[in-house]
């Protein structure tokens, strides 16, 4: 593995890549097994750091306060990315704390790791000054091992799926399902060893939704609904 790739992966997991670098690296992840492996290895290396800090329960109104503060910044700020002006101390402090919580949540999920976690990741699309939420689900086994990391972006109606430890039984296919609150599973597509961007089902609402992976005949479910055992699942949680 080249040092360059290794350090990109390390900073990707650490969360210090700038937005352009991060987007570029995610594109690279889609086609590069070494990159995907590097991310997996760095997730394992950095994950245990979360144990050192102990559990911290955020206040019940934390998300509301974060959202209010993001909204108030968004109304007055047309930046195209969550990069803060060096002299804006209030924004620095706020965005840092949001990222800190995000880091804590990611780490907790990667370790405790049964279900899903969400990431307070916000973007400022160019020009309109409104923030855009994105969501993450850690889709894993019942024993807590994460199998997929899924970035869900309602704005583009897509999900970026990064396999971590998903294993496809020989002669079968893994199929990802979107399960809206109280609704039947809707197919999103087949999974392989490589990261892939999949489209959300039409009309999908990510609030209270979850993702699941079932084992299907090669090529996918013949019925449009899961026919085999569900081996991984995880909830999409609102940022």
Partner 1 sequence: MRDCVLLAYYEGYSREELANRFGRPVNTIKTWLHRGLAALKTCLETQR
Residues in touch with partner 1 (CB under 8 A): 6-7, 10-11, 14-16, 18, 45-46, 49, 53, 83-84, 86, 92, 95-104, 107
Q: Please name which of 122, 112, 168, 121 lies closest in space to residue 144, comparing C-alpha atoms.
A: 112
- Shortest distance, CB of residue 11 to partner 1, whole angstroms? 7
Helix (H, G, I), strand (E, B) or coil at 121: strand
Q: How far is the CB of 158 from partner 1 (least distance, A)?
A: 25
When the beta carbons of 3 and 143 are compared against partner 1, the nearer one is 3
Query: Please, what is the end-to-end C-alpha distance for the chain in angstroms?
Result: 34
| 3 state SS of 148 | strand
Quick check: helix, strand or coil at residue 159? strand
CB of 10 to partner 1, least distance (A): 4
State both tokens at 137. Answer: 């689900």
Cα 198 from Cα 85, distance rounded (Å):
34
The CA dihedral of 195, 44, 117, 212, to the nearest 10 degrees, is 50
Q: Measured from the CB of residue 19, what is the shortest distance to partner 1 in angstroms?
A: 10
Least distance CB 113 / partner 1 (angstroms): 17
Nearer to partner 1, 60 or 86 (CB): 86
Question: Residue 97 or residue 208: which is nearer to partner 1 going by CB?
Answer: 97
Spatial distance between the Cα atoms of 128 and 51, rounded to a whole number of angstroms: 40
């Amino acid at each position: 593995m080249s040092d360059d790739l290794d350090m990109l992966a390390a900073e990707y997991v650490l969360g210090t890549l700038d937005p352009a670098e991060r987007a570029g690296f995610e594109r690279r992840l889609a086609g590069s097994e070494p990159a995907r492996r590097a991310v997996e290895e760095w997730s394992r290396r950095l994950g245990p750091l979360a144990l050192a800090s102990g559990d911290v329960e955020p206040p019940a109104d934390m998300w509301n306060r974060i959202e209010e503060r993001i909204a108030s910044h968004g109304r007055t700020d047309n930046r195209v990315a969550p990069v803060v002006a060096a002299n804006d101390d209030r924004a620095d402090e706020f965005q840092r704390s949001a990222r800190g919580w995000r880091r804590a949540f990611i780490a907790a999920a990667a370790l405790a790791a049964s279900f899903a976690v969400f990431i307070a990741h916000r973007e400022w699309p160019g020009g309109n000054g409104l923030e855009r939420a994105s969501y993450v689900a850690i889709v894993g086994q019942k024993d807590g091992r994460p199998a997929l990391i899924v970035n869900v972006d309602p704005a583009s109606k897509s999900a970026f799926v990064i396999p971590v430890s998903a294993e496809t039984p020989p002669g079968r296919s893994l199929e990802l399902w979107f399960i809206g609150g109280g609704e039947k599973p809707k197919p999103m597509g087949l999974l392989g060893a490589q990261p892939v961007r999949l489209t959300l089902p039409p009309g999908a609402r990510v609030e209270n939704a979850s993702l699941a992976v079932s084992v299907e005949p090669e090529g996918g479910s013949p019925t449009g609904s899961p026919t085999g055992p569900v081996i991984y699942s995880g909830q999409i949680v609102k940022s």
